Structure 1
Amino acid sequence: MLGKLTQPEIEALLSRQITGRLGCHAEGTTYVVPVNYVYKNGIIYAHSGPGKKIEMMRQNPEVCFEVDEIKSIFSWKSVIAWGRFEEITEIDEQQQAMQALIHRIMPLVEQPTGHPSHGIIESEYDLGDKIDVIVYKIIIDKTTGRFEQN
């Protein structure tokens, strides 16, 4: 049976997952990339180093985000969200977003140190000048969700 997810089911799926796919488009090119994220109150929080997706989102902040939960080919749930990229520049908001991301990621980390690109370090001095972490949010405007179950 195919069906539509309700808004509470959409919210639950966005809250439950940790990796989604971010779609951005600029200058005639579409780019889709997996990102780790935290969802809270209609906002997706994520981080990145400098690169293609950040450059594209700065050019065109309108983005699409997809997340799914697949048990089998005939048992799955999927959500697509549309929203607007905003770089977080306020220090307190950056710290809160990074703390939420680290808290969400840590249970999945096999070795708790040595992941400076995700802000997971033994000491704040380990990060140094090597990684320029960009913290951002996607303010969601619209969502849709589908499922299949046998």
Structure 2
Amino acid sequence: MLRELNDTQIEELLKDQVIGRIGCHSEKTMYVVPVNYVYDGANIYCHSAKGMKIDMMRENPEVCFEVDKIKDITNWQSVIAWGKFEEIQDLDEKQKVLQKLVDRITPYIMDDSVTREHGFVDEESDVGTKVELIMYKIIVSKKTGRFENR
């Protein structure tokens, strides 16, 4: 039976997961793409190189974010959040967000194939010097969640 997650369960799922999906829309095109993220209880923080996703969110900052945890077809949880894309310009804030992302993602790295294109740098002062790394947040305005557990 499909049921709703309560606010606590929604927060736990958003904080627990590492990969979510951003949905954006611009010029009659919809685009959904997976991203690594960190959630702090108010904002979802991500990074990216310049590309279609960034171009679209700059054009239309209203986005949707989805995260799920799936055990099997009848045992899963899913959260959808709506919010506004905001690019982070301040270098100090960029460095802090990047460090949070690195700290969150590092335990899941299986080998040394992760490159600077993934946003990992040797020193905090290297942020943005090797690859144009765009740091951004989604300012969450609404969240909902569903689950099934049989």
TM-score calculated relative to the size of structure 2 = 0.93
Aligned to 2:115: 115
Counterpart for residue 140 of structure 1: 140
CA shift for structure 1 position 123:
5.3
Q: Structure 2: how far apart are the matches of 1:99 and 1:140?
A: 21
The amino acid that maps onto 1:108 is: Y
Tell me the CA shift for residue 121 of structure 1.
3.4
**Separation of aligned partners in 2, 1:92 and 1:128:** 12
Residue 106 of structure 2: SS of its match in structure 1?
helix
Unaligned residue ranges in structure 2 (runs of 5+):
none
Residues 113 and 120, structure 1, Cα contact 8 Å, conserved in 2:
no
1:56 is aligned with what amino acid? M
Partner amino acid, structure 1, of 2:95: Q
Match of 2:13 in 1: 13
- 1:73-127: per-residue Cα shift (whole Å, max 9, x none)? 0000000000000000011111111000000110011234642122223457988
Q: In 1, are the aligned partners of 2:75 and 2:148 still within 8 Å (CA)?
A: yes
> Equivalents in 1 of 2:27, 2:33: separation in Å?
17
Within 2, Cα distance between the matches of 1:128 and 1:21? Answer: 24
Aligned sequence identity (%): 55
One-letter amino acid matched to 1:54: I
Deviation track 1:47-95 (CA, whole Å, cap 9, x = no partner) reads 0000000000000000000000000000000000000000000111111
Match of 1:3 in 2: 3
Bigger shift: residues 24-33 or 121-130? 121-130
Deviation at 1:130, TM superposition (A): 4.5
Which residue does 1:87 correspond to in 2? 87
Aligned to 1:131, the other structure's residue is in SS state coil
Q: Deviations over 1:28-60 (max 9, x none)?
A: 100000000000021000000000000000000
Residues 116 and 126 in structure 1, CA contact (< 8 A), matched pair in contact too: no
Residue type matched to 1:135 in 2?
M
Stretches of 4+ aligned residues off by more than 3 angstroms: 121-130
Gaps of 5+ in 1: none
Q: Report how many residues are paired.
A: 150
TM-score by length of 1: 0.93
